[in-house]
Chain A
Amino acid sequence: MTKRLFVKGNEAVAMGAIEAGCRYYFGYPITPQSDIPEYLSRELPGVGGDFIQAESEIASINMLLGASACGARAMTSSSSPGISLKQEGISYMAGSELPGVIVNICRSGPGLGGIDASQADYFQAVKGGGHGGYHIIVLAPHSVQEMYDLTMLAFDLSDRYRVPAMILADSVIGQMKEALVPHSYAAPADLPAKDWKVTGKGGRQEQRVVKSLYLGDGELEAHNWRLHARYAQLKAREVRFEAAGTSGADLLVTAYGSTARIAKTAIRMAREEGLKVGLLRPISLFPFPAGAFLDATAATKKVLCFELNAGQMVEDVRLSVARDAEVFFYGRPPGAGSLPTPEEFLEQIRKHCKD
């Protein structure tokens, strides 16, 4: 019988990371993600790894930069205000073409905000976040199982493209417990060798330098075009989404992460009433499943986007749908304890199905 565990989403991230070969973790406590450093401080030494509780989020992302430059699988995690502090290092990692996994278990803001769930960091995650015009890979799990699976995937994608990867979840997904079926990890056979990693020359003729500074004529522009070509490859090859009941639907509902769970319940209730509602759940937020929206809206001309913010992903949805499709938004900026209910979403679904 397959082993099933009853664990928290945050623990699933940590378990997935260790299974995927992550041996270095650098972080700083912040609610609602502290289960991740707690788990790894307990478990990493036993598998020959290192855990460092850094003096700040800034230090921890730069420790990640150093460990990644050595070719190791390494991770940091934080929550919204801490991720803001990490943006400097994330930009440097993007500029230095370094892999590495960053987990953001979002809380509500801006500023100190609160510890309840929020999706208000979408822009920060998918539009760059730090300075200089770059992207990172952003994956949005909506279950404890996906916290485990997508963390493994984040390491693989990050290594393959030499682009940092973020797990973007919130306190609902991070703090809830549900069944997890753990499984063993096997690295894809075609992952490129890390022939750029610093090791000390060790007799090698050429020195290796990990850097983001390019001062020669045209060097920086060429470097930036190279990075952007990689983002184009990600868009072409690494889009991930869940679609259900999209063909023949009168209304296409879209949501990711915790909101998608609420939307799924609302959609089930709507279908019981005979409404034809499809679901398109982005799993990769960067690259965004633009093609899936275009395909789905060839027939279904109405899209309803649910988010736990005042409207962020909806902008990417609008950019992705067919020219004559209408996009509606329903969301709420985060506030203490004010998660939307399935009934609230159902009301919106009814409204747009009838219009």
Chain B
Amino acid sequence: MLLTGAEIIAEVLIEQGATTIFGYPGGAVLNIYDALYEYRDKIRHIMTAHEEGASHAADGYARSTGKTGVVLATSGPGATNLVTGIATAYMDSVPLVALTGNVGTSLIGRDSFQEVYIAGITMPITKHNFVVRDVTQLADVLRDAFRIAQTGRCGPVLVDIPKDVTAAKTEFEPLGPVVIPQPALPAADDIRRAANDINQAARPIIYFGGGVVSSGAEVVLADLIHTANIPACHTIMGTGVIGDSDPLNLGMVGMHGCFTTNKAIDESDLVIAIGTRFSDRVALNTTAFAKHAKIIHIDIDPSEISKNVIAHASLIGDVGAILAAMLPMIAPAEHTEWRERITKWQTEDYVPEDSSEVLRPHQIVSTIARLAGEDAIIATDVGQHQMWAAQYCERTQPRSFLTSGGLGTMGFGYGAAIGAKIANPDRRVVHITGDGSFHMNLNEACTVVSYDLPIITVIVNNTVLGMVRQWQTVFYGGRYSSTSPERKTDFAKVAEGFGLSGVCVRTPAEFEKAFTQALADNKPIWIECLIDKDEKVLPMIPAGGTVRDMITK
């Protein structure tokens, strides 16, 4: 059939299963929006307040479902507003297709109105990007974008489309969804050797990350852990893969991980790193990291092997497939002595004190976890509240804790929560944010209201940029430069102005009541929680330090 470029975009989106997209209109994408009007029964378009919000929403959609998120923006400022969202998805390996309009091909390169070279701008933060200059290539380029976003290590792909290409016509042949090639398994001998190492280890530990989530490997990972009784710990991106109540789950590792977890890595004789990349928040000191251990690295991305920490052995491929192939070679084991030592360390773990008078952050998060239940999806912004959320959220399912791990993007949370709620209308979505982060994206309240999304936003308000202030306390002698903005924002009133409700609470009892009510009402709401500005995220290992440098008060 003879279709315009804009219609081809709609057809390919449908063909690739992208029936929900997030975006914001503008001159360069008018033809596309005109086509979307025609396709409105088949493609749901969610308009956000800001393109950054749309990009985080597409990302939250992808993180919570495993499908590829799609975001659409106009040229120039629309396109540049996507940059933070694209970079966020890139750092956390989220499959995302970003479509941007551009000025007509005859205007490109002339500093025309709303022209930017977005392909150049996004080169370092995309897996790949395209500029389509000819309508006959459009369909295949879009398909390629979906294929690349989902192949191997997932990531964002940008397709920039000049306005005249969306108007031009060409023949279109529908095809099915792109086939994602499965990576080959490593050689059987290599898998056997790794299994032997695991069988022989006296003090093994598994350290896993978001790659387990991408691969859907949580069940086989749990099998491995339980067959050989190997203690496991995870990065922030691995939150929810193994439930916190599992005695073999030692929790989060790294800068704000437990003492036991970091100690266990330090004393282990074998680290099995699965779907993770030894970032500087985990391997704070790359030379001292697990220095008594042999390291086996299992990952889909060969360029991660020995990038930060030297691996003694590596298995490249889909982590789920590799673990499944390895599992029959794993001998059941008890590791009694090792586990007893770990249990003993656990008595030394930092435990925050509860209060009945003032709101303490861990109590806020635990209450959310308890009342919202295991099925709830939690999205966070960035700062102390993010770490408290990670430490106490008690997720038991992968894809239920959405956070910007790699880039640390303040302003990620509300958009991500919107995307997650659109994708999972039957699940609770709770957005945990800080007063600083929320000021960056609270404009998305209008989206939440327009689409009637019952997202509960919990604002952990310490009145300061808590995480930065914590560093100033610990490393800069309390010189609080620009971290106490003295804002006068009345969140409840702002909420009202946007057309949703807002409450402010000061005690655990008030919070519990407000949160229970919010769950019952099932409407969009902001709950502002006032906490002390000197609350810290503990424990903490300073950048570059080891478990011996851990700070606990």
A and B associate in one complex: no
Chain B residues with CB under 8 Å of chain A are none
Chain A residues with CB under 8 Å of chain B are none
